[in-house]
Protein backbone atom coordinates (compact mmCIF):
# COMPACT_ATOMS: atom_id res chain seq x y z
CA UNK A 1 0.00 0.00 0.00
CA UNK A 2 1.41 3.45 -0.86
CA UNK A 3 2.66 5.51 2.04
CA UNK A 4 0.48 8.43 0.98
CA UNK A 5 -2.50 6.58 2.45
CA UNK A 6 -0.88 6.68 5.88
CA UNK A 7 0.58 10.19 5.80
CA UNK A 8 -2.53 11.81 7.37
CA UNK A 9 -2.44 9.21 10.15
CA UNK A 10 1.25 9.78 10.77
CA UNK A 11 0.65 13.52 10.92
CA UNK A 12 -2.26 13.07 13.34
CA UNK A 13 -0.21 10.67 15.47
CA UNK A 14 2.67 13.14 15.66
CA UNK A 15 0.33 15.92 16.71
CA UNK A 16 -1.15 13.85 19.53
CA UNK A 17 2.29 12.74 20.75
CA UNK A 18 3.49 16.34 21.01
CA UNK A 19 0.29 17.90 22.30
CA UNK A 20 -2.79 16.00 23.50
CA UNK A 21 -0.91 12.99 24.88
CA UNK A 22 2.16 14.82 26.11
CA UNK A 23 0.80 16.58 29.19
CA UNK A 24 -2.72 16.12 30.47
CA UNK A 25 -4.90 15.24 33.43
CA UNK A 26 -6.27 11.75 33.98
CA UNK A 27 -9.79 10.95 35.15
CA UNK A 28 -8.67 11.43 38.78
CA UNK A 29 -7.42 14.93 37.88
CA UNK A 30 -3.80 13.91 38.42
CA UNK A 31 -0.95 14.93 36.14
CA UNK A 32 -0.52 12.36 33.43
CA UNK A 33 0.90 12.06 29.94
CA UNK A 34 4.07 11.22 28.07
CA UNK A 35 6.04 14.04 29.71
CA UNK A 36 6.39 11.90 32.83
CA UNK A 37 8.67 9.49 30.99
CA UNK A 38 10.24 11.18 27.98
CA UNK A 39 11.24 14.63 26.79
CA UNK A 40 9.48 16.37 23.90
CA UNK A 41 12.87 16.81 22.24
CA UNK A 42 13.41 13.04 22.15
CA UNK A 43 9.90 12.47 20.83
CA UNK A 44 10.59 14.86 17.95
CA UNK A 45 13.73 12.89 17.09
CA UNK A 46 11.83 9.60 17.14
CA UNK A 47 9.00 11.04 15.06
CA UNK A 48 11.46 12.35 12.51
CA UNK A 49 12.99 8.89 12.18
CA UNK A 50 9.52 7.38 11.90
CA UNK A 51 8.46 9.68 9.05
CA UNK A 52 11.77 9.19 7.25
CA UNK A 53 11.81 5.40 7.56
CA UNK A 54 8.12 4.92 6.79
CA UNK A 55 8.63 5.69 3.11
CA UNK A 56 10.90 2.65 2.80
CA UNK A 57 9.47 0.21 5.35
CA UNK A 58 6.36 1.30 7.23
CA UNK A 59 6.15 -1.64 9.64
CA UNK A 60 9.90 -1.61 10.26
CA UNK A 61 9.83 2.13 10.99
CA UNK A 62 6.91 1.68 13.40
CA UNK A 63 8.76 -1.14 15.17
CA UNK A 64 11.90 0.97 15.46
CA UNK A 65 9.85 3.88 16.83
CA UNK A 66 8.28 1.63 19.45
CA UNK A 67 11.58 0.28 20.75
CA UNK A 68 13.14 3.74 20.63
CA UNK A 69 10.24 5.13 22.65
CA UNK A 70 10.51 2.41 25.31
CA UNK A 71 14.30 2.64 25.57
CA UNK A 72 14.12 6.42 25.98
CA UNK A 73 11.84 6.28 29.02
CA UNK A 74 13.37 7.83 32.13
CA UNK A 75 12.15 4.86 34.18
CA UNK A 76 13.69 2.27 31.84
CA UNK A 77 16.74 0.52 33.26
CA UNK A 78 17.08 -2.40 30.87
CA UNK A 79 14.21 -4.50 32.19
CA UNK A 80 13.54 -7.53 29.94
CA UNK A 81 9.75 -7.12 29.85
CA UNK A 82 7.49 -4.19 29.03
CA UNK A 83 3.75 -4.06 29.70
CA UNK A 84 0.95 -1.79 28.58
CA UNK A 85 -2.55 -2.03 30.03
CA UNK A 86 -4.50 0.18 27.60
CA UNK A 87 -7.92 -1.53 27.20
CA UNK A 88 -8.08 -1.12 23.38
CA UNK A 89 -4.90 -3.20 22.95
CA UNK A 90 -6.88 -6.42 22.60
CA UNK A 91 -8.96 -4.95 19.78
CA UNK A 92 -5.72 -4.22 17.91
CA UNK A 93 -3.88 -7.37 18.97
CA UNK A 94 -3.36 -8.59 15.40
CA UNK A 95 -1.74 -5.28 14.40
CA UNK A 96 0.42 -5.24 17.53
CA UNK A 97 1.44 -8.83 16.81
CA UNK A 98 2.64 -7.89 13.32
CA UNK A 99 4.93 -5.28 14.81
CA UNK A 100 5.92 -7.26 17.92
CA UNK A 101 5.80 -10.97 17.03
CA UNK A 102 7.07 -12.00 20.48
CA UNK A 103 4.34 -10.10 22.33
CA UNK A 104 1.94 -11.85 24.68
CA UNK A 105 -1.67 -10.81 25.12
CA UNK A 106 -3.75 -11.10 28.28
CA UNK A 107 -7.45 -10.65 27.61
CA UNK A 108 -9.08 -9.72 30.90
CA UNK A 109 -12.80 -10.43 30.78
CA UNK A 110 -15.26 -8.94 33.22
CA UNK A 111 -18.95 -9.53 33.79
CA UNK A 112 -20.26 -7.67 30.70
CA UNK A 113 -23.14 -6.01 32.54
CA UNK A 114 -20.71 -4.71 35.17
CA UNK A 115 -18.58 -3.34 32.33
CA UNK A 116 -21.62 -1.64 30.83
CA UNK A 117 -22.67 -0.21 34.20
CA UNK A 118 -19.16 1.10 34.78
CA UNK A 119 -18.72 2.74 31.39
CA UNK A 120 -21.99 4.62 31.76
CA UNK A 121 -20.46 6.40 34.75
CA UNK A 122 -17.47 7.63 32.74
CA UNK A 123 -17.62 11.13 31.22
CA UNK A 124 -16.09 9.86 27.94
CA UNK A 125 -18.40 6.90 27.51
CA UNK A 126 -21.99 6.25 26.41
CA UNK A 127 -24.44 7.48 29.03
CA UNK A 128 -27.33 5.01 28.73
CA UNK A 129 -27.77 1.25 28.58
CA UNK A 130 -28.58 0.93 24.87
CA UNK A 131 -25.60 3.02 23.79
CA UNK A 132 -23.30 1.23 26.24
CA UNK A 133 -24.52 -2.18 25.07
CA UNK A 134 -23.78 -1.24 21.45
CA UNK A 135 -20.36 0.01 22.57
CA UNK A 136 -19.63 -3.29 24.35
CA UNK A 137 -20.85 -5.45 21.46
CA UNK A 138 -18.71 -3.57 18.94
CA UNK A 139 -15.54 -3.74 21.04
CA UNK A 140 -16.09 -7.40 21.87
CA UNK A 141 -16.62 -8.33 18.22
CA UNK A 142 -13.46 -6.51 17.12
CA UNK A 143 -11.44 -8.04 19.95
CA UNK A 144 -12.56 -11.59 19.15
CA UNK A 145 -11.73 -11.18 15.46
CA UNK A 146 -8.31 -9.80 16.34
CA UNK A 147 -7.43 -12.41 18.98
CA UNK A 148 -8.19 -15.28 16.58
CA UNK A 149 -5.06 -14.26 14.70
CA UNK A 150 -2.78 -14.61 17.74
CA UNK A 151 -0.96 -17.97 18.26
CA UNK A 152 -2.33 -20.04 21.13
CA UNK A 153 0.85 -19.83 23.20
CA UNK A 154 0.82 -16.05 23.10
CA UNK A 155 -2.69 -15.32 24.35
CA UNK A 156 -4.36 -15.91 27.66
CA UNK A 157 -7.97 -15.25 28.66
CA UNK A 158 -8.48 -14.43 32.32
CA UNK A 159 -11.79 -13.71 34.01
CA UNK A 160 -11.47 -10.84 36.46
CA UNK A 161 -14.00 -12.34 38.87
CA UNK A 162 -11.97 -15.58 39.00
CA UNK A 163 -8.74 -13.72 39.70
CA UNK A 164 -10.26 -11.59 42.45
CA UNK A 165 -13.02 -13.75 43.96
CA UNK A 166 -13.80 -17.26 42.74
CA UNK A 167 -10.41 -18.85 41.97
CA UNK A 168 -7.75 -16.47 43.22
CA UNK A 169 -4.67 -18.62 43.74
CA UNK A 170 -5.18 -20.85 40.73
CA UNK A 171 -5.82 -17.88 38.44
CA UNK A 172 -2.77 -16.08 39.81
CA UNK A 173 -0.59 -19.15 39.28
CA UNK A 174 -1.83 -19.59 35.69
CA UNK A 175 -1.02 -15.96 34.95
CA UNK A 176 2.54 -16.32 36.23
CA UNK A 177 2.96 -19.53 34.26
CA UNK A 178 1.74 -17.90 31.05
CA UNK A 179 4.22 -15.05 31.48
CA UNK A 180 7.05 -17.36 32.55
CA UNK A 181 7.83 -15.23 35.58
CA UNK A 182 8.36 -16.02 39.24
CA UNK A 183 6.21 -14.70 42.04
CA UNK A 184 7.81 -11.68 43.71
CA UNK A 185 7.16 -10.03 47.06
CA UNK A 186 5.99 -6.69 45.65
CA UNK A 187 3.66 -8.37 43.18
CA UNK A 188 2.29 -10.77 45.78
CA UNK A 189 1.68 -7.94 48.24
CA UNK A 190 -0.24 -6.00 45.60
CA UNK A 191 -2.33 -9.07 44.79
CA UNK A 192 -3.08 -9.80 48.45
CA UNK A 193 -3.77 -6.21 49.52
CA UNK A 194 -5.18 -4.47 46.47
CA UNK A 195 -6.91 -7.13 44.36
CA UNK A 196 -9.82 -7.44 46.77
CA UNK A 197 -13.45 -8.37 46.22
CA UNK A 198 -14.76 -5.15 47.75
CA UNK A 199 -12.78 -3.12 45.21
CA UNK A 200 -14.16 -5.06 42.26
CA UNK A 201 -17.78 -3.92 42.78
CA UNK A 202 -18.98 -7.27 41.45
CA UNK A 203 -22.57 -7.36 40.22
CA UNK A 204 -22.80 -3.59 40.41
CA UNK A 205 -25.21 -3.72 37.49
CA UNK A 206 -27.87 -5.15 39.82
CA UNK A 207 -27.45 -2.09 42.05
CA UNK A 208 -26.87 0.57 39.42
CA UNK A 209 -29.86 -0.23 37.23
CA UNK A 210 -33.33 0.34 38.67
CA UNK A 211 -34.69 -2.49 36.48
CA UNK A 212 -32.00 -5.21 36.59
CA UNK A 213 -34.30 -8.02 35.45
CA UNK A 214 -35.30 -6.06 32.35
CA UNK A 215 -31.65 -5.12 31.71
CA UNK A 216 -30.64 -8.76 31.91
CA UNK A 217 -33.40 -9.75 29.46
CA UNK A 218 -32.40 -7.07 26.97
CA UNK A 219 -28.76 -8.10 27.20
CA UNK A 220 -29.63 -11.76 26.57
CA UNK A 221 -31.71 -10.79 23.54
CA UNK A 222 -28.80 -8.80 22.14
CA UNK A 223 -26.14 -11.50 22.58
CA UNK A 224 -28.40 -14.49 21.94
CA UNK A 225 -27.39 -16.51 25.01
CA UNK A 226 -28.51 -16.94 28.58
CA UNK A 227 -26.71 -14.84 31.17
CA UNK A 228 -25.82 -16.20 34.60
CA UNK A 229 -25.01 -12.82 36.15
CA UNK A 230 -21.35 -13.67 36.77
Q: How is residue 30 annotated by DSSP?
A: -
Same domain flag for 54 and 135:
no
| 60 and 107 housed in the same domain | no
What's residue 102's pLDDT? 95
Do 109 and 172 sit in the same domain of this protein? yes
What pLDDT is attached to residue 29?
81
Residue of 198, 201, 112, 116 whose CA lies nearest to 159? 112
Residues 27 and 133 in one domain: no
Total residues found in the chain within this entry: 230
Beta bridge partners of 158: 108
Please give the average per-residue pLDDT across 77-106, as a whole number. Answer: 93
Residue ending a domain, among 81, 110, 141, is 81
Give the three-state DSSP class for 31: strand
What CATH number has the domain bearing residue 92? 3.40.50.300
d(CA 176, CA 164): 15
Q: What pLDDT was estimated at residue 15?
A: 96
For residues 104 and 98, give the distance between their C-alpha atoms in angstroms, rounded to a whole number. 12
pLDDT for the residue numbered 123: 86
pLDDT reported for residue 51: 93
Q: Tens digits of per-residue pLDDT, 181-199?
A: 999 999 999 999 999 999 9
Residue with the bigger pLDDT between 31 and 162: it is 162
pLDDT category at 78 given cuts 50, 70, 90 is confident
pLDDT value of residue 75:
87
Its domain, for residue 55, covers: 1-81
The domain tally of the chain equals 2
Q: Which residue has the higher pLDDT, 191 or 75?
A: 191
Q: How confident is the model at residue 70 (pLDDT cuts 50, 70, 90)?
A: very high
How much is the pLDDT for 107? 96
Containing H/E element for 215? helix 212-223
**Mean pLDDT value across residues 63-79:** 93
* Co-location of 146 and 44 in the same domain: no
Residue 228 predicted with pLDDT over 70: no
Separation CA 78–CA 20 (nearest Å): 28
Whether residue 70 is found in the same domain as residue 93: no
Amino acid sequence: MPLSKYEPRLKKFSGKMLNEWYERKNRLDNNSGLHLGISKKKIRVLLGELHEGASQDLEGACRQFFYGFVNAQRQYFGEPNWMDTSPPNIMYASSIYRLLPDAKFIQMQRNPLDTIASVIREPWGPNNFDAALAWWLRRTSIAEASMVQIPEGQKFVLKLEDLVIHDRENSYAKLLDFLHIEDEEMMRNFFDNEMLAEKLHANRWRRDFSNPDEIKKRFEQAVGVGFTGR
